[in-house]
Structure formats: structure tokens, C-alpha cells
Amino acid sequence: MPIYLLPDDEHWFPPEDEFSDDVVAVGGDLDPQRLLTGYRRGIFPWYNIPGEIIWWCPETRCVLFTDEVRISHSMRNTFNQGKYRVTMDLAFRDVIEGCREGERENATWLFDEMADAYCELHRMGYAHSVEVWENDQLVGGLYGLSMGHVFFGESMFSRAANSSKVAFIRLAQFLHQSGWKILDCQVVTEHLTSLGARGVPRAEFLEMLQKELQFPDHLGIWHFDHPMNDSSF
């Protein structure tokens, strides 16, 4: 199957039956409407080098079903210690910069254009962050995109022990409490599977995605409605 070069003048992506391996297209831009169109199709962007956008829809998709989030004994202790404070949508740009910092050793894909695009989606009410604080210092977090009843996780970072895990678990519980079933984690990693995520075939994921996108979008600023040390831990 071909890998398509996207046109600059329309927000078009190839049909599902023409997806090629994990990469489905290259080119285009990071216009907010193109990004939203892509995510609704299960497609997300990564840069390879500055100026070259590669669009992905992995054959095996990493998904956390929100009722399957795994909280180890050590993580329960972390929550119960009350060491961290967790917020939402309080410091989106700072979370982006934390993720950029964490990727720099590996030639980060979070170039300025990518960071700016997600900040614009945050201003539009689609993109959200989870922040983990120790005292007044931002020590971990994650960000992603929300449409319908799907949260598309993008990246996370950690400056203190288990802080990114705290952000991920807290988000999963928030989504579950809100009636959402899936948190898209994109690509299977050992870190994500340790938290309960698992790989599902692309076709199965895309079918679930279209079902969950039938729900209304929840735009705007998000916040947690339950304390961090509640009985769910």
C-alpha cells in the first residue's frame, strides 16, 4: 500500500483500507482542523526531522480501558503519603516544556511547531494537561487531546519518583468516574503496560473510536472533582 503525501489545501487523510503499516501519510501541516480530523480517524502526527510531519495509525494500538488501570502497592503508598498535589489544565505550556525536556536526549519530536499547535488546541478547549506538584514545584505531568469520550494521550514527563505514573493513574480514574472507557496511549511500551494498558488491533481500535466519538465533546478547562486520597486508592 502507498504512503500518501498530504495536500496542503485540504484536511484529507487516506481511507482506512489503504493504511500502510504504522505510517499512513507524510506532509501537510499542523493546522488545528487538520489535527482534529486526524485524531477522529485515529491518526496522530510525529515529526521525524524539523519540517517533516509523519502521520501514524499503528497496526497495534496501545489502549488503557479506564476500569483496568493498574495501581501497584508501591503506587498506593505514594498516593496515601500525600506527597504530591495533582491538578488539571493549570499549566499546559509548562507541561509541554517538561515533555520537551524529557525528550531532548533522544532528539525530541516536540519541535516548536508541534508545541504551538497543541497549545492552540488547548486554547480551543480540546487539549488538556495533568500537572503533578511537589510543594510549589512542577515535578511531572502529561498532556493529550480529548474528543467525544476518548482521551488521546500524547506525552508525559517525570522529574520526581513516580510523578508521571501519578498523573496517568489520576487521569484514568477521572475518565472512569466520568463514564469514559478508553484512554488512547498510541504505542505499546513497558511503562504503559505496567499501568494496565494493552495492545489492540488497529481495526478494533478504530471501531471503538467511532463509537466513543458519538458522545459530545467536553470543551474548556477541566478539573478534578474528587480528592487525591479518596477511597479509590
Query: Using one digit for the tens of pLDDT, what is the confidence trace for 24-59?
Result: 999 999 999 999 999 999 999 987 666 689 999 999
Q: pLDDT tens, 124-171?
A: 999 999 999 999 999 999 999 999 999 999 999 999 999 999 999 999
Please state, rounded to an integer, the average pLDDT across all residues of the chain: 90
- Residue 127 falls within a domain, yes or no? yes
122 and 169 assigned to the same domain: yes
Specify the pLDDT at position 226.
Answer: 58
Q: pLDDT-based confidence at 232, cuts 50/70/90?
A: very low
Nine cell digits for residue 114: 508541534
173 and 155 assigned to the same domain: yes
69 and 116 assigned to the same domain: yes
Q: pLDDT tens, 172-199?
A: 999 999 999 999 999 999 999 999 999 9
207 and 120 assigned to the same domain: yes
What is the C-alpha separation between 44 and 207, in angstroms, rounded? Answer: 17
51 and 95 assigned to the same domain: no
Q: pLDDT-based confidence at 20, cuts 50/70/90?
A: confident
Higher pLDDT, 228 or 95: 95
Higher pLDDT, 9 or 11: 11
Report which residue type is found at 222.
W
**CATH value at residue 145:** 3.40.630.70
49 and 112 assigned to the same domain: no
44 and 72 assigned to the same domain: no
160 and 178 assigned to the same domain: yes
Is the predicted pLDDT of residue 79 greater than 50, yes or no?
A: yes
73 and 176 assigned to the same domain: yes
157 and 203 assigned to the same domain: yes
Q: pLDDT-based confidence at 229, cuts 50/70/90?
A: very low
102 and 35 assigned to the same domain: no
The count of domains in the chain is 2
- Residue 193 falls within a domain, yes or no? yes
| pTM, full prediction | 0.92
96 and 20 assigned to the same domain: no
Contact 142, 129 (CB under 8 A): yes
Q: From 58, 75, 100, give the residue that closes a domain.
A: 58
For residue 42, what are the domain limits? 4-58
Three-state SS string across the chain, please?
Answer: CCCEEECCCCCCCCCHHHCCCCEEEEECCCCHHHHHHHHHCCCEEEEEECCEEEEECCCEEEEEEHHHCCCCHHHHHHHHCCCCEEEECCCHHHHHHHHHHHHHHHCCCCCHHHHHHHHHHHHCCCEEEEEEEECCEEEEEEEEEEECCEEEEEEEEECCCCHHHHHHHHHHHHHHHCCCCEEEEECCCHHHHCCCCEEEEHHHHHHHHHHHCCCCCCCCCCCCCCCCCCCCC
